[in-house]
Amino acid sequence: MRYSKLKISADATSRLRSIRQRTGVTPNLLCRAALMLSLEEGPVTSLAPDDKGQEFNAYTLTGEHTGMVGALLRFVEQEDGGPELADEELLDRLRAHIHRGVGTLAVRAKSPADLGRLAMTS
């Protein structure tokens, strides 16, 4: 999976602002946590509603782990024996997982301690 920038949904951006105010954690780290929470739930059933929100550089969002994130996305999203997902499709699903995961964080992360507990149970 190759990308230089990724824009998330406007709704996820708004929710990230709220979560950041409650937790003090930066949006890129919240997106990483949201992604992992969503991947744990399985494949996404719908894509993010838009890409009109905050834009992240690839290194800021996934850092040196871009390859691993791509592999995890393929593992969760690609059907066994099915055709390999193209980069654009993977990026759409990455955006969708972040959108879904931010929704989960918005409900479950009221403080920095909540983020710690989520990390320990995942």
Local confidence pLDDT in tens for the 122 residues of the chain: 889 999 999 999 999 999 999 999 999 999 999 999 999 999 999 999 999 999 999 999 999 999 999 999 999 999 887 889 999 999 999 999 999 999 999 999 998 888 888 877 75
pLDDT at 49: 95
**Alpha carbon distance 93, 97 (integer Å):** 6
Length reported for the chain: 122
Fold for domain 5-121? Arc Repressor Mutant (1.10.1220)
DSSP string, 25-85: --HHHHHHHHHHHHHHH-S-SS--S-S-S-EEEHHHHHGGGHHHHHHHHHHHHSPTTSPPP
Residue 117 pLDDT: 85
Q: In which element (H, E) is residue 100 found?
A: helix 87-108
The domains of the chain are located at 5-121
pLDDT at site 116: 84
